Amino acid sequence: MVVFGKAIGSGTPGAAYGCTEEVAQRISARLHREDCDVGGIGGTLAGNALSLAAMRATLEHVLTAKNFKKMIALAVRFNEGVSRAIQDFGMPWNVQRLGCRAEYTFCAKPPKSGGASAAAADFELERFLHLYALNRGVSLTPFHNMALMCPETTEEDIDRHTVLFHDALGELKST
């Protein structure tokens, strides 16, 4: 089974799912017609015009091979800048990239489980880094230490974050 959430509509509520014929048959066998609006298939927002239009526009104009090529290159640039700053200041952190997403964690090696990731979390440090950047005009994803590239992201945006991240680490090391 595969499920795509709000990203498929560029943040507009909506989702798409797919499954094998066997899974579809198992779901169908458990659905009763009178439960169709509450059985996880359908409901008030299912198929609404805004969500469908957002999904179509996202699939046609945002999630394209051309855009992914650009966004992945930007994520590589982001990853390299953050990694250099981490090394420059000897921080026991790491930064990882998956496609056009990059995220740093407060542990020397990338966590291999949700528990390890949670153990590496530092709420105050995360808030500091987010507010440090935000107070200087750079907004990161409001959870985790993650950056998601979009077609409108520029090399200048990435370089600005790199400078701010480097400065923030410098301030942390000086305290």
Cα separation, 96 vs 79, whole angstroms:
7
For residue 126, what pLDDT is reported?
A: 93
Cα separation, 12 vs 80, whole angstroms:
31
Of residues 32 and 141, which shows the higher confidence score?
A: 141
For residue 29, what pLDDT is reported?
A: 87
Note the helical H segments in the chain. Answer: 21-30, 49-57, 65-88, 114-120, 123-134, 155-174
Burial of residue 144 (number of CB atoms within 10 Å: 0-12, 13-18, 19+): middle
Looking at CATH, the fold of the domain delimited by 65-174 is given as Aspartate Aminotransferase, domain 1 (3.90.1150)
Cα separation, 170 vs 175, whole angstroms:
9
Model confidence, pTM: 0.79
Q: Break the chain into its structural domains and give their ranges.
A: 2-62, 65-174
Cα separation, 103 vs 97, whole angstroms:
6
For residue 38, what pLDDT is reported?
A: 52
Query: What's the whole-number mean pLDDT along residues 113-142?
Result: 92
Exposure letters 24-54 (e unless 16+ CB within 10 A, then b): eeeeeeeeeeeeeeeeeeeeeeeeeeebeeb
Query: What's the whole-number mean pLDDT along residues 128-149?
Result: 90
For residue 22, what pLDDT is reported?
A: 95
Q: Could you give the C-alpha distances from 162 to 15, 25, 139, 170, 171, in angstroms and in order?
A: 33, 50, 13, 12, 14
For residue 135, what pLDDT is reported?
A: 96
For residue 150, what pLDDT is reported?
A: 92
- What the block records as the tokens of 164 is 């701010």
For residue 42, what pLDDT is reported?
A: 54
Mean pLDDT of the chain, nearest integer:
89
For residue 43, what pLDDT is reported?
A: 55
pLDDT reading at 96 higher than 60: yes
Query: What's the whole-number mean pLDDT along residues 135-142?
Result: 88
